[in-house]
Amino acid sequence: MRKLQYLGRMEHDDIRFMGEAIQLARLGMDRGDGGPFGCVIVKDGKVVGRGNNRVTSTNDPTAHAEVVAIREACNSLSDFQLEGCVLYTSCEPCPMCLGAIYWARPDRIVFACTREDAADAGFDDQLIYDELTLPFTERKIPTEHLLRDEAQVVFEAWKGKQDKVRY
């Protein structure tokens, strides 16, 4: 386990906010919202987004704690980027959440349990990690590629769009 590299207040804040993420994981699990995962997003020492896993209670496979917290934080900040934010999550992010985190671009990620801990609890994401490295023709879910030329027309229109918001 990597020790916190920060001294004083930063270390104290990291511990406090991680404790809140872990508490959200427990509360959501006890309520029956979903799995034992929680997340807190902080900017300038203030929580701007919270989330706990809500997959089974909402029938939404994307309602992981990190995604729920990112949606709340972005709404709270009126921005689709989390610049200046730290994301605290009770477990190492799964591939979907890691992708969402990278799109949101926080300054830092801090996690508690590892992906191995999650696998031991029955949440094994290794299949997805493995699938991501395969060519789409070799993945377990049949994946087909068609109408690229027609779709490219839309990309060409995007390239020329004068009022686009880059992200």
Cβ atoms 38, 90 nearer than 8 A: yes
Nearest to 17 by CA among 110, 117, 104: 110
pLDDT of residue 10: 62
Asked if 86 and 104 touch (Cβ cutoff 8 Å), the reply is no
Determine the Cα–Cα distance for residues 6 and 146; give it in Å rounded to an integer: 50
Which residue in 20, 66, 72, 92 is the catalytic one? 66
What are 55-81's pLDDT values in tens digits? 999 999 999 999 999 999 999 999 999
Q: What is the pLDDT of residues 79-113, one digit of tens each?
A: 999 999 999 999 999 999 999 999 999 999 999 99
Q: Mean pLDDT in the chain?
A: 94
pLDDT of 145 over the 90 cut: yes
Claim: this prediction has a pTM higher than 0.85 = yes
Position 7 pLDDT exceeds 50: no
Q: Is 66 a catalytic residue?
A: yes
